[in-house]
Structure formats: C-alpha cells, structure tokens
C-alpha cells in the first residue's frame, strides 16, 4: 500500500513540475484515456482489497482500456459519431462501481475495529 502512495506522490510532483502540453485537438482523446486508466487503477485497488490482484492483468487492462477508449474516440471522430460517449458511460459506471466497493470495504473495516472484532 505504501508503494501506491509513493507512486501517487511522485506522479503528482512530476505532473506539476514537468511542462507537458498537447494540442487542444487531442483533449477529447486524452480525457477519455485518462478516464479509462483511472478505471483500471480503481479496479486494481478493488482487487488488492479482495486479495485477487494480478500485476499482469492490471498492466494489460491499463494499456488495453486506454487504447480501446482512444480507438473508439478516433473511430467516432472519423465517422462523425460521438462514440466517446460509449467509453465515458462504460468506464465512468465501472469507476463508480469500483469506488463503491472500495468505500464499502473501508467502512466495514473501520466499523469492525470500533466493535472490537
């Protein structure tokens, strides 16, 4: 768990101090890719809490979800259809689903400690 926090802190520091920009045309692609990677991260945290985490599954899901979201967005852009809504709907609902499982696990652990179990 400490490695997750260290990685998060290093990522935030790098994000603030390394000047990285991309053209405004790519903002839709980046936002959908970020949503997809956040879904993978929250899924990994949920798997850790359930004791089912597998690094290979996390890495392939992380990359695969981001690529799928970008490909969907690009294809929709070429066809003139807002297919990025599909990625937003699916990854957004999974993100909230994973967050609810994580929250439930943490609340249960805290309430069990208070009861003395």
> How many other CB atoms are there within 10 angstroms of residue 66's CB atom?
22
User: Which pLDDT band, with edges at 50, 70 and 90, does 117 fall under?
Assistant: low
d(CA 77, CA 94): 24
Burial 28-58 (b: 16+ CB within 10 A, else e): bbeebbebbbbbbbbbbbbbebeeeeeeeeb
pLDDT tens digits, residue range 67-78? 888 898 999 999
**pTM for the whole thing?**
0.77
> How many other CB atoms are there within 10 angstroms of residue 95's CB atom?
18
pLDDT at 116 over 80: no
pLDDT tens digits, residue range 87-108? 899 989 999 999 999 999 999 9
pLDDT tens digits, residue range 7-41? 889 988 998 898 878 888 888 888 898 899 899 98
pLDDT at 48 over 80: yes
Closest-CA residue to 93 (of 105, 81, 101, 82): 101
Question: What is the structure's pLDDT at 1?
Answer: 65
> How many other CB atoms are there within 10 angstroms of residue 86's CB atom?
16
Question: What is the structure's pLDDT at 89?
Answer: 92
116: left (phi over 0), alpha (psi -120 to 50) or beta: left
Question: What is the structure's pLDDT at 10?
Answer: 93
């Amino acid at each position: 768990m400490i490695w997750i926090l260290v990685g998060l802190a290093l990522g935030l520091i790098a994000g603030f101090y390394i000047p990285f920009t991309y053209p405004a045309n790519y903002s839709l692609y980046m936002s959908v890719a970020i949503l997809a990677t956040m879904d993978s991260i929250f899924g990994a945290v949920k798997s850790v809490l359930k004791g089912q985490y597998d690094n290979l599954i996390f890495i392939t899901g992380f990359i695969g979800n981001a690529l799928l979201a970008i490909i969907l967005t690009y294809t929709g852009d070429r066809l003139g259809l807002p297919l990025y809504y599909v990625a937003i709907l699916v990854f957004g609902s999974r993100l909230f689903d994973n967050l609810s499982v994580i929250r439930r696990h943490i609340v249960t652990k805290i309430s069990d400690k208070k009861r003395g179990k």
